[in-house]
A and B are shown apart, each in its own frame.
Chain A
Amino acid sequence: MADVLARVTTFTIDGLDPCPVIVEADLRAGLPAFTIVGLADRSVTEARERVRAAIQNSGFEFPMRRVTVNLAPAHLRKGGPGFDLAIACAILLASGQLPAPQLDDVAVFGELSLTGEVRPCRGVLAAAQGAAGTGLRGLLIAADRVGEAQLVPGLEVRGTTSLQALRRVLAAPPEEQRPAAAERAAPPPGGPDLADVRGQAAPIAALTVAAAGGHNLLFIGPPGTGKTMLARRLPSILPLLSPAEALEVTRIQSVAGLRVEDGIAHLRPFRAPHHTISAAGLIGGGPLPSPGEATLAHAGVLFLDELSEFDRRSLEALRQPLEDGHVSIVRQNRVARFPTRFALVAATNPCPCGRGGRACRCGEADLQRYARRLSGPLLDRIDLVVNIERPTTEDLAGEPVTTSKVVRAQVRAAREHQAARGVRCNAELRGARLRAAASVTTEARELLDRVYDHGDLTARGRDRALRVARTVADLDGAGRVDASHLRVALAYRRQDEALAQVAA
């Protein structure tokens, strides 16, 4: 029999980006053998065993010939089990067990089990975007990820549950477009609600400012006072995900294997990594770079509980993500770029013993060491410092002070003012743009100058106070920043005294 060659397109996920990979299968006479070449990592070479078993268990025949599968381009490092289905298809095509034209212009992406079942694998949305981007007509994937792939408009998506069903699926018309999740009525954001909180009016006010202006927030308070509880409720008062954001979040979660259900993500992510996390875990890394917590929190909230316990190097690594809204991870000659626009909420105890204030048993030296460990590059990027206290018994017996729905409406209104200024949120205002946007009244200007001259503010702190004041004014619906707004902002300022107080 003459040598036979077949080609199938699939995708490998490099960071978050799909890279097209051509799977070529070559069958020739010789001792039966099965080789995969083309810079594949272990999970790909293991595909040999899965593919062979799956083909045989699905009523197809595995060609008793010398089978060579090549993954091109050869220079690209390939990982993940998403190649199984494509390799199987290429072999079936080459051995004439599938009609060739049906797989023209179609990308194939899926993992196989030994029985021939097609499993969903990570990064379906990214693969679908890649398929559309490279001008392919369709995509063949696991049946229970069709909704996710259909988020990419114009792509003919076919889902199959098994290799056995493949012939039928390929012959049938593409799946009907399921109602696009973005067009579905937005469901109320689930998750924890501010209505669960008793008392704590002051921290909730700060949370509102943080949500409205995209400011980073630090809660200081003894253990058990509700720092984590409050932080978990920040996603519920942020504006709903925009369609573009939802797509980004879905893609990230899909690549990270965090999506349990098909379709688009509705909730803003909330990530609370443990304080033992490494720098790579926080910003992403690995030989085939995978997203870190900062990226998983993209468009949502990154919560660093026990800030003082985090490794300094991990926190240093957060600087670029915080500053630029993305992080670049360089591997050999490739650069993976991950988006990292999250709201940062950090929490810490007031002192090493955690009691704080009068009950504190820490020595002066302990407190100074603690303050030193807390200060530094990350703290420099925190706009709001808020002390949290235990709610009183009356608070606990009383009604919640507000609900997420009410606050979310305030936040949305404030963000609309900001959008009119051409920024997503006030935290992005810098330099001249900030000064123009702030439009401070004379009284406020004098107040700011007085505080600055008094030495209570650094130059950076001055800008920070202005940005926060702008947000407070937006929440008030005020066009100009007046002294009352500025005074609120000054109360939140990250003063070095605030740390001295941590130390006091």
Chain B
Amino acid sequence: MSTIDACDDCARRSWLVARLSGHLEVRRAEREVIREVLALPDARLIAALGGLEGALIAAEHAQRDPAELRAAWAAAGTHAICRHRPGYPASLLMLPDAPAVLHLRGDPQRLADLLAGAGVAIVGARKASVEARDCARLIGRGLSAAGVTVVSGMALGIDSAAHEGALEAAANTIAVLACGPDVPYPRSRRDLHECLGERAAVISELPPGATPYRWGFPARNRIIAALSQMVVVVEAAERSGSLITADIGITLGRDIAAVPGSPVSWRCAGTNQLLREGATFVRDAVDVLDSLADPEPADLASARAAGPSARRTAPPVPAGLPARLQSLLRAIDGGAESVNAHARTPEEARAVLGDLTELELLGLVGRGPGGRYRRIRD
């Protein structure tokens, strides 16, 4: 049974934003500041965006029957709450352009519980490296296990990795979409969307069925930032959308944290710049919890239990291994990751390949991109 708890004005406002999606998209392309537009009251919003269609949209808006809208939303199986109701997250009200209605896919009680805990946003690049995705997953898992709500945007790369990590632990996570909460976007993340809807919460300012437009992604970032005490950026290039989330976080007075990356990698240029500008340096969930305003000691312990921390020391070399395999492992730790690095001749290469497979079968090494061998943690 869907709970649709939205006043008439807010319901019509929510409809209006979806109705104006195409117009907003045109404005985005013209580099107007969408957030300033979104803060306008209804009539001025229509005047600003409607253009030739303005009168038509104004008429549609005036005639729109809120009861019908609520019925349609209920039929879609999603829940809704407007900014005038007590259940609406207080942190969102800090935004000048707070969404009129939050649409939810999932259980309203679950969302309320999730909002009651501390929120941490984990954001980053869609084109993220394997290491960074691992890192986001581990932070998500650690935070979720510690009772912190992981807020992110379900995008490819870092976002989905963070959600997946959180689902591996207590499923303390909220996904904020740039389309209707019932629309799985990106489509390759259908399973994740499904899972989040069942065990966590998927929210959006757009009503069910609304398709994603490009303006919606930076716009939903404001919700992600507002719902969180801290914004953790895991891997972001210089002009990444996740830096928008960090910027909004700064204006809202949120803590900003970043995971460091190689100074020569273009992938980490954005996060490294954040660190240079004073963002908190975090390596794993424990670091995040340490720097949250008031971490409970028990939470820290469970975060430590839930996820291994970042690679602070090389993993130990098991003592029982034959000497040959031990030295091979040490060589891998020392950066010799390809077979060529261990072998001078084809005969040696075959022997080393067998040994590497032995280590692989023992679960001590795995193969990464380009077939490179690396130590497995976790």
Which of A's residues lie within 8 Å of B, judged by CB?
199-202, 204-205, 208-209, 220-221, 350, 356-358, 360-365, 368, 386-387, 389, 391-392, 395, 401-402, 407, 447, 450-451, 472, 475, 484-485, 487-488, 490-492, 497-498, 501, 504
In the complex formed, the residue of B with least CB distance to A207 is: B346
In the complex formed, the residue of A with least CB distance to B358 is: A487
12 new A-B contacts at CB < 8 Å, known A205-B350, A401-B345: A202-B349, A204-B349, A205-B343, A358-B129, A361-B127, A365-B186, A389-B340, A407-B346, A447-B361, A451-B361, A472-B350, A501-B368
Contact present for A488 and B353 (CB under 8 Å):
yes
Residues on A with C-beta less than 8 A from B127 are 361-364
Q: Please indicate which of the listed interface residues A201, A358, A497 has the most CB atoms of chain B within 10 Å of its own CB.
A: A201
State in angstroms the CA–CA spacing of A501 and B372 once bound together.
Answer: 10
Contact present for A491 and B346 (CB under 8 Å):
no
Contact present for B348 and A201 (CB under 8 Å):
yes
Residues on A with C-beta less than 8 A from B355 are 487
Residues on A with C-beta less than 8 A from B354 are 484-485, 487-488, 491
One of B186, B351, B368 near A504 (C-beta < 8 A): B368
In the complex formed, the residue of A with least CB distance to B372 is: A357
Contact present for A490 and B368 (CB under 8 Å):
no
With A202-B340, A362-B127 as known contacts, state yes or no: A389 contacts B370, CB within 8 Å: yes
By Cβ-Cβ distance, the 5 closest A-B pairs, closest first, are A387-B371, A202-B339, A205-B346, A205-B349, A487-B354
Total contacting residues, chain B, CB less than 8 A: 37
With A201-B348, A364-B126 as known contacts, state yes or no: A498 contacts B156, CB within 8 Å: no
* Complex A-B: 24 CB contacts under 8 Å: A199-B340, A201-B348, A205-B346, A205-B349, A208-B346, A209-B350, A356-B369, A357-B368, A357-B369, A357-B370, A358-B129, A361-B127, A363-B126, A363-B127, A389-B340, A392-B340, A401-B345, A447-B361, A487-B355, A487-B358, A488-B354, A491-B354, A491-B360, A498-B367
With A488-B353, A501-B370 as known contacts, state yes or no: A365 contacts B340, CB within 8 Å: no
Nearest CB in chain A: distance from B340 CB, A: 5
Contact present for B349 and A350 (CB under 8 Å):
no
Residues on A with C-beta less than 8 A from B339 are 201-202
In the complex formed, the residue of B with least CB distance to A202 is: B339
Bitwise, B101-134 to A at CB < 8 A (1) or not (0) is: 0000000000000000000000000111110000
Contact present for A350 and B357 (CB under 8 Å):
no
Q: Please indicate which of the listed interface residues B265, B350, B351, B356 has the most CB atoms of chain A within 10 Å of its own CB.
A: B350
Nearest CB in chain A: distance from B126 CB, A: 6
Residues of B321-378 whose CB lies within 8 A of A: 338-340, 343-358, 360-361, 367-372
B184 within 8 A of A: no
B157 within 8 A of A: yes
Contact present for A402 and B345 (CB under 8 Å):
yes
State in angstroms the CA–CA spacing of A472 and B347 once bound together.
Answer: 11
B188 within 8 A of A: yes
State in angstroms the CA–CA spacing of A111 and B346 once bound together.
Answer: 51
State in angstroms the CA–CA spacing of A451 and B360 once bound together.
Answer: 11
Residues on B with C-beta less than 8 A from A368 are 188
Contact present for B361 and A356 (CB under 8 Å):
no
One of A365, A387, A447 near B370 (C-beta < 8 A): A387
One of B186, B361, B371 near A501 (C-beta < 8 A): B371
Residues on B with C-beta less than 8 A from A386 are 371
State in angstroms the CA–CA spacing of A413 and B83 once bound together.
Answer: 81
In the complex formed, the residue of B with least CB distance to A475 is: B350
State in angstroms the CA–CA spacing of A350 and B369 once bound together.
Answer: 8
Nearest CB in chain A: distance from B175 CB, A: 17
In the complex formed, the residue of B with least CB distance to A472 is: B350
Residues on B with C-beta less than 8 A from A365 are 156, 186, 188
In the complex formed, the residue of A with least CB distance to B187 is: A365
Contact present for A363 and B156 (CB under 8 Å):
yes
Contact present for B346 and A402 (CB under 8 Å):
yes
Contact present for B346 and A401 (CB under 8 Å):
yes
Residues on A with C-beta less than 8 A from B130 are 504
Contact present for A498 and B346 (CB under 8 Å):
no
In the complex formed, the residue of A with least CB distance to B341 is: A392
State in angstroms the CA–CA spacing of A392 and B340 once bound together.
Answer: 9
Nearest CB in chain A: distance from B321 CB, A: 15
State in angstroms the CA–CA spacing of A201 and B351 once bound together.
Answer: 11
State in angstroms the CA–CA spacing of A450 and B357 once bound together.
Answer: 13
Contact present for A201 and B371 (CB under 8 Å):
no
With A358-B129, A363-B156, A364-B127 as known contacts, state yes or no: A202 contacts B370, CB within 8 Å: no
With A368-B188, A490-B357, A491-B357 as known contacts, state yes or no: A360 contacts B350, CB within 8 Å: no
